[in-house]
């Protein structure tokens, strides 16, 4: 076929709904024919009928009891003497005029009546017609109703989807939020203004229009917003930033306008926007600009927050864990006047959070929440809630009545390291892992500036972890970010302890790739010493900065912050630090080889050695640094 020839049109297949509708209509239209006449019924009527002459003969023989004459149908229904009471009468077709039949009936004293079936036939016909008309009418009404619903949804497409409560009955107060006291104190002003605005307006103060809650995931930003709503007792709107953005142009801006319109009608009130970074990202970022629809939504939000018309009595609370991606116009005074940092809690905050989540759990009296708080640096409120829940699950699986310290310790290891697997059998692999982990643990114990050991184990974990050596981290140093040069070098040396033990015991040719992750940590720490902290002889200069750009294409062409010559010097210095620390680790392992073998034999037998027991064994062979001795006393 040539390309310009016209193809015959293809027949479109009917949809399933159309096919069902047609079949239903056809069957209903055929129903009157089935009801109105049936061949089987006609044959039965012929078998039960008499001829006109036979009827006259039976009347003369006095065999007829009663006759019903139907002049409309020209039929006589004959009831014979002696027939069963429930038997059907015999039918006789009548003539136009039947004087001889009437005379015979009167002469032989036969009871007869005149009946008419016209009314019953008309009623049956009407009923049959309604049987197929009514379903069609119902089907039409169903289609009309669905069309009306679709049109109403189209009209409401631009309406705000915010959940609204006249009084936010969240069930959460400030007393239920622990570990973030500074944030609670700042937000208490918002609650006081909503309850007693004259206290601020009397001195000319203006409450912030917007409060931005900033912090990593799980620190309690949404929980804090619920507590504000529960304390204030004012109308409360809650919506997610992603609910503003749609694929249709103008819908997001329309929803913003509708949200603030409802808020003005119910002022004073609170608007909570969760994950505002979904709609408040920087405009024009990335290759080829930004998303037009999202930018229109953001522009409308900026106008509603601080435009020509004021929003008196409306306080906006937003939450995000990515403040670096928000547009600068959104963060200026007059929109989000105040940023409240909701950071990971410190040790005291973790203890308060644990007390809150322990209210509804059966915890053994021997459990010290203070010890749990000390062992969980960096845990957020959500992590601590999950920790106690995992401990409760382990308690139920082990059929115990209350949560003990063992379940909490196992839950911490499960969340930080991974799920515990079956222990290894006594083999070369098990002893190799034992020497590797003992190398880490021994250096963590002997190095004066390293964090003290918590425990070392060779029980494998999910994710390919054959064993691990766990330290009690210096929380003050980690939180402040004030790392000393001695602490970093000792941590690099401790990290290389596993590889150093393998090399000293089995030889360089038998060293495994189990230290691959250790080498990444070493390279990162050594590079920061050289390029960011100025802890080398290259000078007190910051040669690199942390890259916080999150938009594709912002730095599409990488900008070198130093020359090629300086890059060579940096690589050389990083390598020198790593090699120096590795040699120091091998020296310590070599000088304490008998102690290493003793610890390996013990861990192969026990599979886990706690930090206190480990330090006591090390103290029998060598003198511990003063810092490690204090760690032993604090643990006991």
Nearest alpha-carbon partner for 448 in 319, 625, 302: 625
- 437 catalytic residue (yes or no): yes
Tokens of 463: 């994710």
**Would you kindly state where each structural domain of the chain is located, as residue ranges?**
163-341, 347-416, 428-635
Rounded to whole angstroms, the Cα distance separating 370 from 345 reads 14
pLDDT of residue 274: 86
Does an H or E element contain 320, and which? strand 314-320
Asked whether the beta carbons of 211 and 316 are under 8 A apart, the reply is: yes
Tens of pLDDT along 441-489? 999 999 999 999 989 999 888 777 888 898 888 777 776 678 889 999 9
Rounded to whole angstroms, the Cα distance separating 575 from 567 reads 12
**pLDDT confidence band for 548 (50 / 70 / 90):** very low
The listed CATH number (3.40.50.170, 3.40.50.300, 1.20.58.760, 3.50.7.10) that belongs to domain 428-635: 1.20.58.760
Q: Is the pLDDT of residue 10 over 60?
A: no
List phi, psi (to 5°) of 148. Answer: -65, -40
- Kindly state the average pLDDT of the residues 1-8: 42
User: Which residues of 138-198 form beta strands (DSSP E)?
Assistant: 163-165
Catalytic residue among 437, 502, 504, 584: 437
The reply to whether domains 163-341 and 428-635 share a CATH topology is no
**pLDDT confidence band for 494 (50 / 70 / 90):** very high
Q: Is the pLDDT of residue 20 over 50?
A: no
Does an H or E element contain 528, and which? helix 516-531
Tokens of 343: 């950071």
The partner residues of 301 in beta bridges, in order of sequence, read none
Max mean pLDDT among 218-227, 289-298, 350-359 falls in 350-359
Rounded to whole angstroms, the Cα distance separating 18 from 562 reads 72
Asked whether the beta carbons of 563 and 402 are under 8 A apart, the reply is: no
Asked whether the beta carbons of 227 and 236 are under 8 A apart, the reply is: no
User: Which of 9-18, 60-69, 71-80, 346-355 shows the lowest per-residue confidence on average (mean pLDDT)?
Assistant: 9-18
- Kindly state the average pLDDT of the residues 111-132: 68
Q: 275 Cβ partners below 8 Å, 6+ apart?
A: 240, 241, 242, 319, 320
Rounded to whole angstroms, the Cα distance separating 462 from 375 reads 21
Q: Is the pLDDT of residue 502 over 70?
A: yes
Q: Is the pLDDT of residue 33 over 90?
A: no
Q: Is the pLDDT of residue 427 over 90?
A: no
pLDDT of residue 168: 57
List phi, psi (to 5°) of 114. Answer: -105, 125
Rounded to whole angstroms, the Cα distance separating 321 from 628 reads 38
Which has more pLDDT, 447 or 58? 447
**pLDDT confidence band for 567 (50 / 70 / 90):** confident
Q: Is the pLDDT of residue 41 over 50?
A: no
- Kindly state the average pLDDT of the residues 338-355: 88
Asked whether the beta carbons of 202 and 367 are under 8 A apart, the reply is: no
**pLDDT confidence band for 586 (50 / 70 / 90):** very high
* Mean pLDDT of the chain, nearest integer: 78
pLDDT of residue 149: 54
Tens of pLDDT along 310-332? 667 788 889 898 888 888 888 88
Sequential DSSP letters for 368-415: -HHHHHHT-TT--HHHHHHHHHHHHHHHHHTT-SSB-HHHHHHHHHHH
Tokens of 134: 């009514």
Could you give the percent of the chain with pLDDT greater than 90? 21
Tokens of 330: 């959104």
Rounded to whole angstroms, the Cα distance separating 183 from 213 reads 9
Q: Pairing relation of β-strands 468-471 and 338-341?
A: unpaired
Nearest alpha-carbon partner for 269 in 312, 211, 308, 227: 312
Domain covering 347-416: architecture: Orthogonal Bundle (1.10)
pLDDT of residue 291: 56
Asked whether the beta carbons of 485 and 477 are under 8 A apart, the reply is: no
Which has more pLDDT, 4 or 503? 503
Q: Is the pLDDT of residue 635 over 90?
A: no
Judged by phi (left if over 0) then psi (alpha if -120 to 50, else beta), residue 382 lies in alpha
Alpha-carbon distances of 262 from 161, 253, 270, 562, rounded to whole Å = 11, 14, 11, 55
pLDDT of residue 550: 47
Kindly report the pTM of this predicted structure: 0.64
pLDDT of residue 82: 74
Rounded to whole angstroms, the Cα distance separating 251 from 8 reads 43
Q: 619 Cβ partners below 8 Å, 6+ apart?
A: 632
Question: Domain 163-341 adopts which CATH fold?
Answer: Rossmann fold (3.40.50)
User: Which of 138-142, 250-254, 465-469 shows the lowest per-residue confidence on average (mean pLDDT)?
Assistant: 250-254
pLDDT of residue 121: 64
């Amino acid at each position: 076929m040539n390309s310009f020839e016209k193809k015959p049109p293809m027949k479109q297949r009917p949809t399933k709904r159309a096919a069902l509708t047609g079949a239903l209509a056809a069957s209903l239209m055929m129903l009157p024919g089935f009801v109105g006449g049936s061949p089987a019924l006609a044959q039965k009527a012929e078998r039960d009928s008499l001829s006109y002459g036979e009827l006259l003969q039976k009347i003369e023989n006095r065999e007829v009891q009663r006759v019903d004459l139907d002049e409309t149908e020209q039929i006589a229904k004959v009831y014979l003497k002696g027939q069963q009471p429930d038997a059907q009468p015999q039918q006789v077709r009548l003539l136009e005029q039947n004087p001889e039949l009437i005379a015979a009936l009167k002469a032989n004293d036969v009871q007869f009546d005149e009946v008419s079936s016209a009314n019953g036939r008309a009623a049956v016909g009407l009923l049959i017609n309604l049987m197929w008309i009514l379903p069609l009418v119902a089907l039409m009404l169903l289609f009309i109703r669905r069309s009306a619903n679709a049109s109403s949804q189209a009209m409401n497409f631009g309406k705000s989807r915010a959940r609204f409560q006249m009084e936010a009955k969240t069930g959460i107060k400030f007393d239920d939020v622990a570990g973030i006291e500074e944030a609670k104190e700042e937000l208490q002003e918002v609650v006081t203004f909503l309850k007693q605005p004259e206290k601020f307006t009397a001195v000319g103060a203006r409450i912030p229009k917007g409060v931005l809650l900033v912090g990593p995931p799980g620190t309690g930003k949404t929980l804090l917003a619920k507590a504000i709503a529960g304390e204030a007792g004012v109308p409360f709107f809650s919506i997610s930033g992603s609910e503003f953005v749609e694929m249709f142009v103008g819908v997001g801006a329309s929803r913003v306008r509708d949200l603030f319109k409802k808020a003005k009608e119910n002022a004073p009130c609170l608007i909570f926007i969760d994950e505002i970074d979904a709609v408040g990202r920087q405009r024009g970022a990335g290759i080829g600009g930004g998303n037009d629809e999202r930018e229109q939504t953001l522009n409308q939000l900026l106008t509603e927050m601080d435009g020509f018309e004021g929003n008196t009595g409306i306080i906006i609370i937003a939450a995000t864990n990515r403040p670096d991606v928000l547009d600068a116009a959104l963060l200026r005074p007059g929109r989000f006047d105040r940023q409240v940092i909701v950071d990971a809690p410190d040790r005291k905050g973790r203890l308060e959070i644990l007390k809150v989540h322990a209210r509804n759990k059966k915890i053994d009296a021997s459990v010290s929440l203070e010890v749990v708080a000390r062992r969980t640096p960096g845990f957020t409120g959500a992590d601590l809630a999950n920790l106690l829940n995992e401990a409760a699950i382990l308690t139920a699986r082990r059929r115990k009545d209350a949560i003990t310290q063992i379940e909490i310790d196992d839950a911490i290891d499960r969340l930080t390291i991974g799920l515990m697997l079956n222990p290894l059998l006594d083999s070369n692999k098990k002893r190799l892992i034992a020497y590797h982990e003992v190398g880490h643990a021994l250096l963590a114990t002997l190095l004066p500036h390293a964090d003290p050991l918590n425990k070392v184990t060779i029980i494998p974990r999910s994710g390919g972890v054959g064993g691990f050596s766990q330290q009690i981290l210096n929380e003050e140093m980690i939180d402040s970010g004030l790392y000393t040069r001695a602490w970093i070098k000792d941590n690099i040396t401790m990290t290389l302890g596993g590889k150093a033990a393998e090399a000293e015991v089995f030889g360089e040719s038998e060293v495994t790739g189990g230290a691959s992750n250790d080498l990444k940590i070493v390279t990162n720490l050594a590079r920061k010493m050289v390029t960011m902290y100025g802890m080398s002889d290259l000078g007190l200069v910051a040669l690199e900065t942390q890259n916080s750009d999150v938009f594709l294409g912002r730095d599409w062409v990488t900008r070198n912050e130093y020359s090629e010559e300086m890059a060579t010097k940096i690589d050389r210095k990083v390598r020198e630090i790593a090699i120096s620390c590795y040699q120091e680790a091998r020296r310590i392992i070599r000088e304490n080889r008998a102690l290493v073998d003793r610890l390996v034999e013990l861990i192969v037998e026990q599979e886990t050695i706690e930090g206190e027991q480990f330090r006591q064994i090390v103290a029998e062979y060598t003198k511990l640094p003063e810092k490690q001795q204090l760690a032993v006393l604090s643990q006991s």
